[in-house]
Chain A
């Protein structure tokens, strides 16, 4: 280390590379997770998030590059690298023939909780209570639901009293209530000073929980920085409208283009996509009503951050900035130029989101 700071970052990766056969799952990755942050690792499936976390846990060896955890490396410190780290990769797995409590006791044995002068059983009770599994703790894990296993995974991680909590898509496979509770728990843990490294394919989740984010795509870093900076890159929000006569609406809006110069209009499957600030959208709706075209639905489309995410991780798109936005008059193509996937499924994807 050249100018070694007093406290090394929780995680520091330099040129980290892992290949499976010819394909690089993680490709020349640089990453710094400062202590005390809630760090989001965002990327579509196959981006390499899990592989990176496996390398962090020493489950997978790197082909090149270095990875330090609180200044320790696997090559130099071995399993001691893991001492301040806990978490789980993908869905946590346990021994199905043991009860939840017995599984935790087994892991406490491996962690040598007793030798740290702690009462293992009391600590196990404590973490089980934290994840609200106390009343089911003495049932075999084979009878646990997916969500219960996920919570047991969090309990198993907390048992280690980590400084860094690594969670690989913790909300995956949970129902909405489970997702809400998981996020609440992570937020609460983060408030207690824990550094959290969390992977997700869901921009929404990262936006709710994290303060720093690295967006990965095909094993590489596509963006890294604070959420604040990511927002600055975001395009204006999109709204999808359906009208009594879409063709007429398109005509009306293009005729009024001079007054609506900060809105772009594109047609998508059975709807019009309007992109622009909220006030401009309002003006569009009024204009349409004045022209005798009724607006039947108005739903928020792809969120701005999500649009950035897609544009960063999907190869066919160009990086969106405001200057790259198509001119309103030129936007009358039959396809949107941004985020076709998300806009293509507006009913499923967009309606559950709140506009921002």
Chain B
């Protein structure tokens, strides 16, 4: 660091940046700017790329692995994984809901605020011309996009792998009825799509944790633990309404679609519950971020 700061330019004080008249920084367009900046950071890191790659690669490996084994009988549709590829997709969905999807939700979201804390870059980010609110929403939107993209890749990968490796045979429904191949594909797609709601709720929980706890490890692992605890709590008998108030319950709302007659009560309850969780967590996180003092870094 003995290179002189001023070499080259020292002789001509009024060159380059200094010659211009100061200009007002635009006050509009803060959100898109923050969004682009966040996207730049995300694409420069391995984290999101690894997540998306794993969502694409792991399902076919699991489906192929299941083909050579006695079918798992402890998860819904486990018994049918050799009979219809759609069962493979649904088995993966049921399994992923336990902790994979919470991890998908938290991997980016849990780090997004806490990472700034860890790098000490809050002050760098917030002394430019974007408001805290813009930064907040940019981070939320990007986390949600990554979560949804991961879910989409996982859904497509699992379903296509099942259809190619096992087949598109009709599926046995959850009332014993036979579901035709086309209808089964539609229902499988709908089931994966329904997982978006609890996934977003878990993402919001991860965002809140990331903003509050300010530790990236807690931000990422915390939602996974919370998701497991909620699943566990929901599995305890006699919790009635509490079960319905948990976002993780909505991961199972697709069951009703496969019954005959189909029931959609859990679907709407799940959507409502997840919406409430998402909104409350985001508002709490936003209030915290907007009010807090940035003293680190």
Residues of chain A having any CB pair with chain B under 8 Å: 54, 57-61, 78-80, 82-90, 92-98, 102, 105-107, 109-112, 115-116, 123, 126-127, 129-132, 145-148, 151, 154, 156, 158-163, 174-175, 177-178, 180-182, 184-185, 188-189, 191-192, 194
A-binding segment of B85-93, B118-126, B150-158: B118-126
A191, closest chain B residue (CB): B13
List residues of chain B with CB within 8 A of the CB of A83. Answer: 24-25, 27, 129
A-B contact pairs, 11 of them (CB 8 A): A79-B30, A80-B129, A98-B41, A98-B44, A106-B40, A116-B23, A132-B7, A178-B2, A181-B6, A184-B6, A188-B10
Tell me what chain B mostly uses at the interface: helix, strand, loop, or mixed: loop
A142 to chain B, nearest CB (A): 10
A54 and B130 contact, Cβ closer than 8 Å, known pairs A80-B27, A123-B17, A131-B5: no
From the candidates A54, A92, A115, A177, name the one contacting B1 in the complex (CB within 8 A): A177
List residues of chain B with CB within 8 A of the CB of A188. Answer: 6, 10, 13, 18
| Docked-complex contact A93 and B29, CB < 8 angstroms | no
Query: Is B33 positioned at the interface, with any CB of A under 8 Å from its CB?
Result: yes
| Docked-complex contact B9 and A130, CB < 8 angstroms | yes
A82 and B6 contact, Cβ closer than 8 Å, known pairs A116-B23, A162-B22: no
| Docked-complex contact A132 and B3, CB < 8 angstroms | yes
List residues of chain B with CB within 8 A of the CB of A95. Answer: 41, 44, 119, 121
Bound state CA distance, A60 and B4, in angstroms?
34
A93 and B120 contact, Cβ closer than 8 Å, known pairs A112-B26, A175-B1: yes
| Docked-complex contact B123 and A111, CB < 8 angstroms | no
| Docked-complex contact B124 and A130, CB < 8 angstroms | no
Query: Is B297 positioned at the interface, with any CB of A under 8 Å from its CB?
Result: yes
Query: Is B269 positioned at the interface, with any CB of A under 8 Å from its CB?
Result: no
| Docked-complex contact A79 and B41, CB < 8 angstroms | no
List residues of chain A with CB within 8 A of the CB of B6. Answer: 132, 181, 184-185, 188
Residues of chain B having any CB pair with chain A under 8 Å: 1-10, 13-14, 16-20, 22-27, 29-30, 33-34, 36-37, 40-41, 44-45, 119-132, 291, 293-295, 297
| Docked-complex contact B127 and A115, CB < 8 angstroms | no
B293, closest chain A residue (CB): A60
Bound state CA distance, A80 and B30, in angstroms?
11
Q: How many A-B residue pairs have CB under 8 A?
A: 176
B1 to chain A, nearest CB (A): 3
Residue of B3, B19, B25, B33 with most chain A CB atoms under a 10 A cut-off = B25
| Docked-complex contact A92 and B124, CB < 8 angstroms | yes
List residues of chain B with CB within 8 A of the CB of A181. Answer: 3-6
Closest 6 pairs (CB-CB, A-B): A147-B1, A181-B5, A110-B128, A59-B294, A126-B16, A93-B120
| Docked-complex contact B44 and A112, CB < 8 angstroms | no
List residues of chain A with CB within 8 A of the CB of B129. Answer: 79-80, 82-83, 110-112, 160
Bound state CA distance, A186 and B64, in angstroms?
65
A148 and B27 contact, Cβ closer than 8 Å, known pairs A132-B6, A162-B22: no
| Docked-complex contact B18 and A192, CB < 8 angstroms | yes
Bound state CA distance, A84 and B22, in angstroms?
8
A174, closest chain B residue (CB): B1
B228 to chain A, nearest CB (A): 30
List residues of chain A with CB within 8 A of the CB of B127. Answer: 57-59, 82, 85-89
A122, closest chain B residue (CB): B16
| Docked-complex contact A110 and B34, CB < 8 angstroms | yes
| Docked-complex contact B131 and A109, CB < 8 angstroms | no
From the candidates A60, A105, A145, A185, name the one contacting B5 in the complex (CB within 8 A): A185
From the candidates A60, A79, A92, name the one contacting B294 in the complex (CB within 8 A): A60
Sample of 6 more A-B contacts, CB < 8 Å, known A59-B126, A90-B297? A59-B294, A79-B132, A93-B119, A132-B7, A161-B22, A162-B22
List residues of chain A with CB within 8 A of the CB of B293. Answer: 54, 59-61
B129 to chain A, nearest CB (A): 5
Bound state CA distance, A184 and B294, in angstroms?
30
List residues of chain B with CB within 8 A of the CB of A127. Answer: 16-17
A110 and B33 contact, Cβ closer than 8 Å, known pairs A54-B294, A94-B124, A178-B1: yes
Bound state CA distance, A11 and B22, in angstroms?
17
List residues of chain B with CB within 8 A of the CB of A78. Answer: 131
A93 and B297 contact, Cβ closer than 8 Å, known pairs A129-B8, A160-B25, A178-B2: yes
List residues of chain A with CB within 8 A of the CB of B8. Answer: 129, 132
From the candidates A93, A161, A194, name the one contacting B23 in the complex (CB within 8 A): A161
| Docked-complex contact A151 and B294, CB < 8 angstroms | no
Residue of B22, B29, B30, B120 with most chain A CB atoms under a 10 A cut-off = B22
List residues of chain B with CB within 8 A of the CB of A158. Answer: 17-18
A54 and B295 contact, Cβ closer than 8 Å, known pairs A111-B129, A116-B23, A130-B17: yes
From the candidates B2, B126, B128, name the one contacting A111 in the complex (CB within 8 A): B128
A115 and B291 contact, Cβ closer than 8 Å, known pairs A97-B45, A178-B1, A185-B5: no
| Docked-complex contact A112 and B25, CB < 8 angstroms | yes
Bound state CA distance, A126 and B8, in angstroms?
12
A112 and B16 contact, Cβ closer than 8 Å, known pairs A54-B294, A148-B1, A181-B6: no
| Docked-complex contact B123 and A59, CB < 8 angstroms | yes
List residues of chain A with CB within 8 A of the CB of B7. Answer: 132
List residues of chain A with CB within 8 A of the CB of B297. Answer: 89-90, 93
| Docked-complex contact B123 and A61, CB < 8 angstroms | no
List residues of chain A with CB within 8 A of the CB of B294. Answer: 54, 59-60
